[in-house]
Amino acid sequence: MAPLYFPFTFVSQQMAEALSRYFRHISVYQASAKPVPDEMQPPVQSGFLNIRIPVTSDQPRFDVVVKNFRDWADLHYDSQGITTAFLRDGTDPIPFFTGSATSQILAEIKGNLHNEQKPIEPDPLFSARVFLEFAQEFDRQSHEINRDLGAYEANVQNLFNHIKGERERLTDGHSPWPDRISTEPSEYMILRRLEAWNHLFQEDTVSSGVFVTSSRSIFELMMDKIPTAEEIYHSDTLPVSGTVNKTIQRWQDSLIAKLTSLAQNKFDASIDKLGEAQSSQTTESKVSFTVCLMPDLPPHMCFAKSISKEFSHSDKHHRSPSIRNTLIGLIEFKI
């Protein structure tokens, strides 16, 4: 059972490496069948990231809407692009794609704003996919900005150190791990991200009981919504980077086996304990991992409850009866 990363569809190099400290493989959703961003290609090609596309229908329509919105964003935001539009257009339940917003955008592009148009039927799943597409672009651009700022700050510090005669800290043009690990972009529109991601999740026919997020806001929101949630594990002993040796791999195998068992069986706090990761004496930044268990709450019901919506897909797909609990993990950088 591979853990499922949520509610994001972009995984940076830093985040992929952090996740690889605890897992051999992890799954992540994509909103469409288009190629993943370049930065995600290495972990995909290595087999660490498993790309899942729960919905592949309406791809031509999806591509047209995405292209039209990009054109509209460039036209209305002085070519500042998707990030500015994504930040500013935050009034709709799913930004830009309520029926009124969609029809207005398409009308402006086609130059027939004053013509009568047939009302567009709401399509929440399609709207969610489009939202996640632009959320991914926003996250990718934000990550590039943070990375470049980190590299600039590191180079400035190296210059000062050199002037003062101190040992220059080496940098290869990328931010050192402790200097620039920002979670701010991923904390934007948290509830809307979770709502949109949930649409994809409810369409997925592959069952998983283990989920991992890098957003503390998401983690805490779910804990607040589900008062029966119980923290069952916390570790902050593994360094951010380094070789994953056979000892760590064996521990990873035992960890996912235990998590899978906890998702499938009745939880007993007195006996269900997770083994500690191999301790590291290094002084570099660490990756912490916290796990909470939602007892007697299958994942499809857990996520519906987290966004305060009635679950309405119970007859749409077969749900694995073997998964009775939901496990939510939080990955964080500890500097």
Q: What is the DSSP string of 142-159?
A: HHHHHHHHHHHHHHHHHH
Alpha helices in the chain (DSSP H): 13-19, 41-45, 59-76, 82-88, 99-110, 124-163, 190-203, 216-225, 246-264, 299-306
User: In whole angstroms, how far apart are CA 309 and each of 155, 211, 217, 288?
Assistant: 49, 19, 19, 31
Tens digit of pLDDT per residue, the chain (335 long)? 789 999 999 999 989 999 999 999 999 999 999 999 999 999 999 999 999 999 998 899 999 988 888 777 777 655 455 555 555 554 444 444 444 455 555 555 555 545 555 555 678 999 999 999 989 988 988 888 776 665 656 667 666 666 766 554 444 444 444 444 444 456 778 889 999 999 999 999 877 899 999 999 999 999 999 999 999 999 887 877 777 888 888 989 999 999 999 999 987 765 555 655 555 555 567 889 999 999 999 999 999 999 877 655 444 544 567 899 999 999 998 76
220-258 burial, b at 16+ Cβ within 10 Å, e below that, comes to ebbbeebeebeebbebebbbbeeeeeeebeebbeebbeb
Strand, coil or helix: what is 120?
A: coil
The pLDDT score that the predictor gives to residue 11 is 95
- The reported pLDDT for the residue numbered 315 is 44
pLDDT for 207 = 78
Nearest to 213 by CA among 145, 291, 285, 142: 291
pLDDT at 157: 67
Domain boundaries, the chain: 1-335
Beta carbons of 174 and 158 less than 8 angstroms apart: no
pTM attached to this predicted model? 0.79
Q: Radius of gyration over alpha carbons of the chain, in Å? A: 22
CA atoms within 13 A on the CB side of 198: 25
**pLDDT at res. 210:** 96
- Helix (H) or strand (E) segment spanning residue 286: strand 286-294
- Write out the two tokens for 296: 């007697």
| C-alpha–C-alpha distance, residues 323 and 303, integer Å | 14
Question: How is the beta sheet containing 230-239 ordered, strand by strand?
Answer: 49-52, 26-29, 4-5, 210-213, 326-334, 286-294, 230-239
Query: For the residues of 196-235, what is the DSSP string, one character each?
Result: HHHHHHHH--S--SEEEES-HHHHHHHHHH-TT-EEEEEE
pLDDT at position 282: 55
The pLDDT, as a whole number, for residue 335 is 65
